[in-house]
A = this chain, B = another copy of it.
Amino acid sequence: MKESEKEYKENMKDSSKDSPAKDTTSENQKSQMRKGILEFCILLTISKEKKYASDIIKELKTADLIVVEGTLYPLLSRLRQSDLLAHTWEESQSGPPRKYYELTKKGKETLHALKETWSSLAKSINHLSN
């Protein structure tokens, strides 16, 4: 029924002429894709040995993941508040004392769970790619 179809399309709220197109630049996409994965990555790096903020940023950079301070600090606070991380102050030879983070027991468990989530996600993408 061409007629009813036409009616339907005309009567339905239409999002065609919404606000101007938003950013879907590849700059943005990369950043969007990292969302929620950063937490995983940070737990991963800390799991090897206790680290402080600059250590973490450095290590992530070697893996081609750019993270800035303003992102990292709130994230570390979140993880500590959720009892996934604990910190200890340690003096430095050159500069202010550093806050070294390490995984709590809960943190290790969570990391394990996140690893599974990740591999499940990777499997899904694989599945869709065929």
Contact = CB atoms under 8 A, between A and B. Distances in A.
A46 to B, nearest CB: 11
Contact of A36 (B5, B29, B96, B115): B29
Identical copies in the complex: 2
A33 B24 contact: no
A114 to B, nearest CB: 6
A1 B110 CA distance: 36
B24 A125 contact: no
Counting contact residues on chain A (CB < 8 A from B), the size range is 35 or more
Nearest to A97: B5
26 contacts: A5-B89, A5-B97, A8-B96, A9-B97, A16-B80, A18-B81, A21-B82, A21-B83, A22-B78, A24-B110, A29-B113, A29-B117, A30-B117, A31-B36, A33-B40, A33-B114, A33-B118, A34-B36, A34-B121, A35-B35, A36-B36, A41-B128, A59-B128, A63-B125, A64-B127, A118-B125
Interface of A: 1, 5, 8-9, 15-16, 18, 20-22, 24, 26, 29-37, 39-41, 44-45, 59-60, 62-65, 77-84, 89, 91, 96-97, 110, 113-115, 117-118, 120-125, 127-129
